[in-house]
Structure 1
Amino acid sequence: MNAEARHNARYPNAIVPMSPVLSSATLSLTRDKRQTSILSCQYSREVTSGRAAIALALENSGVQKGDEVLIPAFHCESMISPARWREATPVFFRVTPKAEIDLDDITRKITPRTKAIIVTHYFGFLQDLSGIRTLCDEKGIVLIEDCAHAFFGTRDGKPVGSIGDYAIASSMKFFPCYDGGILASNSVPLNTINLTGFSTLFHLKSFFNIIERAISFGRLGWFGRALKALISFKQLIWGYIKKKRPQHVSQGPSASDGGYGFESSWVHSSTSKPSSFIVNNADQKRIVEARRKNYLRYLEALKGLQGATPLFDNLPEGYVPLVFPLYVKNPVQPFESLKQKAVPIWRFGEYLDPAVDETLDPNSVDFSNHVFQFPCHQELKEEEIDWIIQQIKETIQ
């Protein structure tokens, strides 16, 4: 058990879903509800996770041993491990106090060995990539646009994911999937990337996981209650299969179970069929509108909160947030209290690479310690958001 797993084991499970769960309103089989997203890029492939997509982008662009990959100092492990898988050296660059890339620091960090640069749209707020795009073109460096926090959206009329040579996304953060990520590009054909499928057992695992999670949070109504008997039967059968044929039972990538580990065996795999079906048939208009509405609900309720400030004080048109990020002045006790109350809360970049300290980038260290994230996804109920807001106010104020 790693440090992250040991840390999370101390707390009860959140009683409100931290990420989307399947509901009767999730799907729409009409195409008029498609929205501008990373899938608007000319080329795209469905893979197992966002970290697998980063690994494939690095591999496809020729990153190899001895190369350097520039990565934001404000990061999670799944952004670093793909570079190490390619035996490249991660080099960390600073972010600004507004959680934007520090172009001057990136310029200073570039060497003849710099092969690729990863830039991240934190929490769904899209970066201005015009400067870094020009710099990469001048230096012959591959630009990877990390859209793990920003599946949907536009800035200055340009779709998310359309600026980088490659773009990656995490479907699981925006859709009620068991697995799933996107590798996309507007300029690089991706048809030479070979992906393998899964056994029938894994597709079944994906399907039942999606259903079980929905039922555990009280979604799907009477239909979900009726499925409980089927789920119990599935668990008996699955236990028998694992006992008799353990070598044939795939447990799934760690990304699907909330971990940050990197497994090379999952890099060249495609999204499971149930997860792919949801991504391609979800009501995207509902996702966009609900996330923006929920974010603004938090913003209005928490303005002026003593001891905490929204990281972003407005939500620009065209942005579709992943979460609601809140900067908390004295974070230690509130974080512990909210976790113990089973409030869905986490901190992106909570475990930075040991190379990142106050000297390298004080802003990233500050964000890592002080920025809490709360869900604003489309499957939240109004009373659930009200309860989260109440707990935040009582705990922090």
Structure 2
Amino acid sequence: MAGKGLYFSRGRYALGEAYRRAGLDGNSALLAPAYHCVTMLDPALALGSDVQLYPLSTDLVPIIPALDQLLERSGKPVKVLLATHFFGFVRDFSGLKQWCDRRGIVFVEDCSHTLFAEPYQAMGTGQQGDFVASSPYKFFPSADGGWLYAPNPEKLAGASQSAASWLAELRGIKHCFEMARQARVGPVDIENLDQQLASVAGKLPEAGIDQRRIRPAQSTQYQPDLERADAFRSSRWLINHQSVSAIISKRQANYRRWLQAMEGLPNCHALYPELPEHVVPYMFPLYIDHPMPHFHWLKQLAVPVWRWDEMAVSDCPVAQDYRLHLLHLPCHQSLNDDEMNWLVAALTKALRASSNGVRQ
């Protein structure tokens, strides 16, 4: 693949370098998806930039006509647009790229949810971005690893990364060994699930206070001292020597296992009910009708499930809805059959349980 790439400790710092090279600063603005992880915005906020959130369709595709309205309302000139291939489902961003080119806006393609690294680029990714940022460590068993790619090598000229100390390298290797021995799911005791669910379903928790900010605010997950830190040598070696085919086949199998489990299951639906052959899924996105109590129950059962409930406030109805209703379920290649069976059983029992008196 033509072009040049740079490794970082995390994808968020690869994004930060892309923003810097695109000229993003305190006198300009970033256009970013309304449905987002806070780490997608952190590097722009660290540069002092404004962030404008654009709306998405229900399948998380950018709504291009709405971008012109945001452009007109922006108090500062927009220098960068960020678009994401959510959950590994690759989108055609050619129209978005043309929109950016006509307005002199740098297009940054976010591949943090796709299998995109030096040895392998998921089909259809990295085709449109002036810069392409990814998070290989989400797919490979490495201690860290972000990657920034540019089709034009000149765009990454003069990079100065700081290598980790050998002590930090040893800690990274130790982390890899610990993760290899550690189960991704807790005790997989299906027989006791009914009793466990009954113990957590007896009383609903009190509703908390939503303390999100109207304007995006930088999270504590962004560490400025890591902005130019290179990925560990051990991480780069693992990323370049893992069996990509094994990763793809196992992740796809786990995703299809989730799809099979969703058939006829009440109170939910799969966001993407079909898995194209070329898609390498990052997570299984599941829409649930009743976040309270079902999300609470799943967390109490220690199901490793996530959602982006800390995202910035926007006018996008899809982002407002998905913030609490869209769950991210694991389909990592290291999950064994017993773990997947337990995950499916826990989800199935929780969603089939009575939801009388639920709160939205």
TM range (shorter): 0.7 to 0.9
Q: 1:218 to 1:125 in 2, by over 3 A?
A: closer
Within 1, Cα distance between the matches of 2:153 and 2:18?
Answer: 10
Within 2, Cα distance between the matches of 1:166 and 1:84?
Answer: 18
How far residue 41 of structure 1 moved from its aligned partner, in angstroms, is 5.6
Which residue does 2:267 correspond to in 1? 307
Q: Check the 8 A contact 2:91/2:124 in 1, yes or no.
A: no
Q: Check the 8 A contact 2:24/2:47 in 1, yes or no.
A: yes
Within 2, Cα distance between the matches of 1:292 and 1:216?
Answer: 22
Which residue does 2:181 correspond to in 1? 215
Q: Check the 8 A contact 1:41/1:162 in 2, yes or no.
A: no
Q: Check the 8 A contact 1:78/1:260 in 2, yes or no.
A: no
Which residue does 2:45 correspond to in 1? 84
How far residue 216 of structure 1 moved from its aligned partner, in angstroms, is 2.5
Within 2, Cα distance between the matches of 1:299 and 1:121?
Answer: 20
Q: 1:319 aligns with which of 268, 279, 299?
A: 279
* Equivalent residues, number: 312
Within 2, Cα distance between the matches of 1:70 and 1:218?
Answer: 35
Which residue does 2:144 correspond to in 1? 179
Report the residue type matching 2:150 in the other structure: S
Which residue does 2:200 correspond to in 1? none
Within 1, Cα distance between the matches of 2:278 and 2:20?
Answer: 32
Report the residue type matching 1:179 in the other structure: D
Q: 1:352 aligns with which of 295, 301, 311?
A: 311
Residue aligned with 1:177, SS: coil
Q: 2:68 aligns with which of 86, 107, 113?
A: 107
Q: Say whether residues 1:118 and 2:76 are aligned partners.
A: no
Q: TM-score, normalised by structure 1?
A: 0.75
Which residue does 2:203 correspond to in 1? none
Q: Say whether residues 1:163 and 2:128 are aligned partners.
A: yes
Query: Where does the alignment leave 5 or more consecutive residues of structure 1 unmatched?
Result: 1-39, 220-258
Q: Check the 8 A contact 1:77/1:260 in 2, yes or no.
A: no
Q: 1:361 aligns with which of 310, 316, 332?
A: 316
Q: 1:262 to 1:371 in 2, by over 3 A?
A: same
Which residue does 2:291 correspond to in 1? 331
Q: Say whether residues 1:144 and 2:111 are aligned partners.
A: no
Q: Say whether residues 1:57 and 2:18 are aligned partners.
A: yes
Residue aligned with 1:110, SS: helix
Report the residue type matching 1:162 in the other structure: Q
Which residue does 2:330 correspond to in 1? 375
Deviation per residue, 1:372-393 (Å, 9 max, x gap): 1111111110121111011111
Deviation per residue, 1:172-227 (Å, 9 max, x gap): 211111111010111243232111101111101111011112222299xxxxxxxx
Within 1, Cα distance between the matches of 2:112 and 2:133?
Answer: 6
* Larger RCO, structures 1/2 (Cα 8 Å, 6+ apart): 1
Q: Say whether residues 1:197 and 2:156 are aligned partners.
A: no
Residue aligned with 2:295, SS: helix
Which residue does 2:212 correspond to in 1? none
Residue aligned with 2:31, SS: strand
Residue aligned with 1:55, SS: helix
Q: TM-score, normalised by structure 2?
A: 0.83
Deviation per residue, 1:137-192 (Å, 9 max, x gap): 1111100011111124988xx53122110011112211111111010111243232
Q: Say whether residues 1:133 and 2:97 are aligned partners.
A: yes
The within-5 A match list for 1:244-283 is 261-283=221-243
Shifted more, 98-107 versus 116-125: the winner is 98-107
Q: Check the 8 A contact 2:109/2:126 in 1, yes or no.
A: yes
Report the residue type matching 1:385 in the other structure: M
Within 2, Cα distance between the matches of 1:116 and 1:188?
Answer: 19
Deviation per residue, 1:15-48 (Å, 9 max, x gap): xxxxxxxxxxxxxxxxxxxxxxxxx462111111
User: Among the aligned pairs, what percent are the same residue?
Assistant: 29
Q: Check the 8 A contact 2:115/2:121 in 1, yes or no.
A: no
Which residue does 1:75 correspond to in 2? 36
Q: 1:302 to 1:154 in 2, by over 3 A?
A: farther
Which residue does 2:210 correspond to in 1? none
Q: 1:292 to 1:218 in 2, by over 3 A?
A: closer
Q: 1:295 to 1:134 in 2, by over 3 A?
A: same
Q: Check the 8 A contact 1:165/1:188 in 2, yes or no.
A: no
Q: Check the 8 A contact 1:94/1:105 in 2, yes or no.
A: yes
The two structures, once aligned, show a CA RMSD in angstroms of: 1.9
